[in-house]
Structure formats: structure tokens, C-alpha cells
Amino acid sequence: MPYDLNQPPPPRPRLLASRAGARGGTVLAVAALTAVTLAGCGGSGGPGAAPAPGGPEGTGAASSAAPSGTAPAGAGTPAPRGPDTPETPSGDAKPSTPGRGPLAGRVVVIDPGHNPGNFRHAREINRPVDIGTNRKECDTTGTATNDGYTEAAFTLDVSHRLRTLLEKQGATVRFTQDDDRAFGPCVDERARIGNEAGADAVVSIHADGSGSGNRGFHVIHPALVKRGAADTTGIVGPSRELAERIAGKFVRATGSAPANYVGGSTGLDERGDLGGLNLSTVPKVFVECGNMRDAKDAALLRSSQWRQKAAQGIAEGIGTYLLG
């Protein structure tokens, strides 16, 4: 389905090479994540880096990770929001009004993972689209906590908080979706929105659907992919740098440790199988803020105070990346 960004401005020059010296302390900051030990952030090692259903581009629209009592694709009504989860106001995907501040003139595209209406449109979101390396489902429903707090609700809430923080610094912010369309957009369209905006950075907000006991956050950045419609050659370095910046700030803002089941406790995970990254021509990452299928992580994700901290960490990471 065509997506109207009201004729965005011509693309700005993109950052297609890593800045000198990896911006100083970035590598040291991320390396230090491996030494982080925080109370309540334990858990046994997980099954590794295999994407779980309900992840950024899972194994199907009706995620097998969805808990009983939540609505699978095409059935019932959306899972109820919790007492600490205010209704996310409907908005649009048009550019915000740029302000004054250190990020004035910078364009950031926020990509809230999944769409609250996806579960009503199983046929549409199961439609395969070209992701460069192969074909994959248009989108998924996302995952949910055991008591029904959906990933789609979580991603919109954090995205709204993130937009507010970035706009206060003067950035122009665009959304790929804001619960303002029936479903989607598909993963290829999500990439195209960032590309056509000439974004200085694109951040896709998610929460994972891994097994209980798997805890923590990780930031997914693109692998080198050059095949079919995919060519990440120009964004691998900048995207890795963006991921490092966000990971370093996220752990400090939230107190959450890097994932104990993916990324070797670095908080970083390189992937070459995600269309949203493969088809991007601008620096882009996915932030998996925590695991909705683990009770301890789920308690954090449901907390509005913690979600504000998550947005703050992501905003600080984006800001330090853009400012160098």
C-alpha cells in the first residue's frame, strides 16, 4: 500500500562511513557492558541468536510465542492494556515540527515495531515480500507478556516518549506508523520510509519473545549483505556505531543488563536476515528492549517509569551518534 509522507524534503547527505576513531570511547563503552552485573538481571544462558517468533521479523503473523488468552492474527480483539499502560493516542506519520537545539536539521525516523491491527489482517501480513536475500512475511503480530500486554502497545508507547525527547533537542522526527493504518507497513515499506526521508538515523523499537529466563536488551545492526535488492555496504559501519551508542546509553539509563541469550553479553547482535535492515540505505538499528516472555523483564516493560528510562537511553544514544 502506498505510504504518503507528504513529500518529505530532499534526502540529506547520509553518513556512509564510520566517523574517525569510532567516536572515541564508543568501543570502550560497549566493551564495558560485558562486565555489567546488576541485581535481578541474572538468568541462565539461552538458546543462542536464533530469532524467536514475535521478534522483529518473526516466523509468521500468528506468533507461537503469543500467550494463551491473547489474540492471534485474525482472531478476537486486541489483548487488554495493563493498569500501567495508558492508551496510546492515535497520531500520524507526518514529520514533526523541527525545533531549535543540538539536533536541529537532523531527521530521525522511528519505526514502532508491528501494528496493533496486524492480528486482524493475517492474510495481508503473511503475504511474502522481497527482502533482498529472499522473500519473507510482510510483518508479524509481535509478541506479548503472559498477562496480555502486547508488543505493539509497548513499541508505540516507547516511540512516543522517544519522539518527545528528540523533538526537545530540535530533531525532525517521522514515524513509519502510529496506529493510523489498518495493518503494517510491511518490512520493505518500513525500510523505504526511512530511505525516502533521507534519515540521519532510523531506530526500530521492539521487545523480544524469547523463552523464560532469557533476559536483557540487545541492539540489532545490519550485517554486510549485497544480494538482489539488498546492499548494506554503505551502512554497516555507521549502523554498528549507532548500535554501540544506543547500547551504551541504554544500560546506563535503564539499569538493564545486555541480553544473556544473544550477542555474547555485549548488547549487540549482527543480523543479515531482516528486510528492514537489508533494504535500508541509511543507518538503521533495531532495539529489543527486553524479553516479554520472561516475568522479570515483563514487569519492567509494563512499567511506565521504566519505559521512560528506555526512551531516554535510546534518545541519548541517537544524540551522541548524530553529534559525534
Beta strands in the chain (DSSP E): 107-112, 128-130, 135-137, 172-175, 201-208, 218-222, 226-227, 230-231, 268-271, 284-291
The closest of 233, 216, 247 to 320, measured between CA atoms, is 247
How far, in Å, are 148, 209, 273, 314 from residue 143 at the CA level? Answer: 9, 6, 19, 21
Q: Which of 302, 319, 58 has its CA nearest to residue 158?
A: 302
Active site residues: 288
Kindly report the number of other CB atoms within 10 A of residue 125's CB atom.
Answer: 27
The C-alpha angle with vertex 251 and arms to 246 and 256, in degrees rounded to 5, equals 130
CA 124 to each of CA 44, 93, 130: distance values in angstroms, whole numbers, following the listed order: 38, 21, 14
